[in-house]
């Protein structure tokens, strides 16, 4: 059973590899040739909105997807494959609207991967195949391995072969994903018992949370971390391109090094005393690294400090997600918490790119980038300081603030 589990995780990881190619290749093409951060913002907004609708509003689609995971995966990848062939064959990638539609299509599928991973891993938690302790780490490791490969390679390919090289590489990844999805479907690893996100009949008060501040404080912090991630993926490429006049490879290296830091942080879930200071220093690194990335002229130094940013973000995220998993002691709790977590993850990715595109310019983008990091850092610290100061118990493996 376990080999099927890890094969499925490898399929998810390869899909996250596409995230790097889309995030570097397509986004850089729009920013460099059309100078339109608004176009990128619209793309991310539409993609995440469609994905959120499927996950939370369309029970029919959600049920069909989760009941036939591998068949759905195969069909989706096949459609992406045909779309990519058409774009490559007719050289439609030269047109602005086709670039935007490409980001929407690929990003929607990538965002759906978050949904697939959560229900797949939680199903295996319920079956006893993996523990609650390892569930969050598995999810993060899968995401980060794919992201490391995607971002590190994508920038170099774009600088060497331009957008056409990105498209060809995506085609090869999709071919491998098609074969992998066929193999897994043939192994008949059934998903019919997967958890369904049906929270309409699950009132919060009826769940009897051991401590209501624990999951919802963590959910609020996950929202803030998603905001910083959207900040990094949208504003930083524009700064590198128009303020520092650097190449796509540099952004690819930065994202890849950040992903390596995030990968290593996936294995760290803080469990000791001084939890508040762990939150304080991890949050402080976010705004410090944002400041360095915005204003430092040392490219090599900026690439290296991205490791600290990725490590800090994912160390916090993994810890918060573990707190949520621990509160999900039975399925109704789990359905509610994961549904809310998904919602709060997509809100920054939906609205932040669209809203910030109206205010950002070459003159103020560096200050906005640092300001967002500052707001995220201070807000995370405030949430935990507030609960500590007023004596609210926040549990972490049975431990509290003292």
Average pLDDT for the chain: 77
The pLDDT tens digits of the residues spanning 251-297 come to 999 999 999 998 888 777 665 566 778 888 899 999 999 999 999 99
User: Which of 236, 218, 353, 233 minimizes the C-alpha distance to 290?
Assistant: 236
DSSP, res 196: P
DSSP, res 330: S
Where do the domains of the chain lie, and which CATH numbers do they carry? 2-189+200-389 (1.20.1250.20)
What is the pTM (predicted TM-score) of this model?
0.80
131-167 burial, b for 16+ CB within 10 Å, e for fewer?
A: eeebbbbbbbbbbbbbbbbbbbbbbbbbbeebbbbbb
The DSSP H or E segment spanning 287 is: helix 275-295
Cα 218–Cα 323–Cα 142 angle in degrees, nearest 5: 95
- CA 38 to CA 44: how far, in whole Å? 10
**Most confident option among 175-189, 304-318, 320-334:** 304-318
**Most confident option among 9-13, 51-55, 57-61:** 9-13
What is the band of 207 on the pLDDT scale with cuts at 50, 70, 90?
Answer: very low
Name the least confident of 158-172, 187-201, 223-237: 187-201
Q: Give the mean model confidence (pLDDT) for residues 65-90.
A: 76
Maximum pairwise Cα distance, the chain: 64
Residue 401 has pLDDT above 50, yes or no: no
- CA 224 to CA 348: how far, in whole Å? 8
What is the band of 16 on the pLDDT scale with cuts at 50, 70, 90?
Answer: confident
Question: Rounded to a whole number, what is the distance in angstroms from the first to the last CA of the chain?
Answer: 43
Name the least confident of 261-265, 297-301, 373-377: 261-265
> What own/partner pairs with CB < 8 Å and gap ≥ 24 does 86-90 have?
87/167, 88/164, 88/167, 88/168, 88/171
Three-state DSSP string of 169-183: HHHHHHHHHHHHHHH
Residue 147 has pLDDT above 70, yes or no: yes
Share of the chain above pLDDT 90, in %: 20
């Amino acid at each position: 059973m376990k080999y099927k589990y890890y094969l499925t995780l490898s399929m998810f990881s390869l899909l996250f590899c596409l995230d790097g190619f889309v995030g570097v290749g397509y986004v850089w093409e729009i920013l460099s040739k059309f100078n339109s951060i608004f176009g990128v913002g619209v793309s991310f907004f539409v993609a995440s909105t469609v994905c959120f609708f499927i996950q939370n509003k369309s029970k029919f689609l959600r049920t069909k997807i989760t009941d036939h995971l591998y068949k759905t995966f195969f069909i989706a990848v096949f459609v992406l494959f045909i779309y990519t062939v058409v774009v490559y064959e007719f050289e439609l990638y030269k047109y602005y609207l086709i670039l935007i539609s490409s980001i929407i299509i690929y990003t929607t599928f990538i965002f759906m991967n978050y949904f697939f991973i959560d229900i797949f891993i939680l199903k295996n938690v319920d079956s006893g195949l993996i523990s609650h302790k390892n569930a969050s780490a598995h999810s993060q490791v899968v995401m980060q391995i794919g992201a490391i490969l995607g971002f590190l390679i994508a920038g170099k390919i774009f600088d060497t072969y331009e957008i056409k090289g990105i498209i060809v590489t995506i085609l090869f990844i999709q071919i491998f994903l098609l074969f992998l999805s066929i193999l897994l479907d043939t192994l008949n690893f059934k998903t019919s018992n997967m958890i369904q996100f049906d929270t309409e009949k699950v009132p919060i008060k009826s769940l009897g949370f051991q401590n209501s501040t624990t999951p919802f404080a963590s959910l609020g912090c996950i929202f803030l971390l998603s905001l910083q991630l959207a900040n990094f993926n949208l504003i930083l490429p524009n700064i590198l391109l128009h303020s520092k006049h650097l190449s796509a490879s540099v952004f690819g290296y930065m994202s890849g090094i950040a992903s390596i830091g995030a990968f290593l942080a996936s294995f760290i879930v803080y469990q000791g005393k001084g939890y508040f200071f762990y939150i304080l220093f991890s949050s402080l690194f976010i705004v410090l690294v944002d400041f360095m990335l915005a204003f430092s002229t040392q490219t090599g130094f900026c690439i290296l400090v991205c490791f600290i940013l990725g490590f800090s973000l994912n160390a916090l995220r993994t810890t918060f997600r573990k707190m949520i998993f621990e509160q999900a002691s039975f399925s109704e709790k789990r359905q509610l918490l994961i549904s809310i977590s998904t919602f709060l993850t997509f809100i920054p990715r939906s609205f932040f790119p669209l809203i910030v595109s109206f205010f950002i310019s070459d003159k103020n983008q560096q200050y906005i980038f640092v300001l967002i990091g500052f707001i995220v850092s201070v807000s995370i610290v405030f949430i935990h300081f507030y609960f500590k100061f007023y004596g609210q118990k926040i549990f972490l493996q049975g431990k509290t603030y003292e």
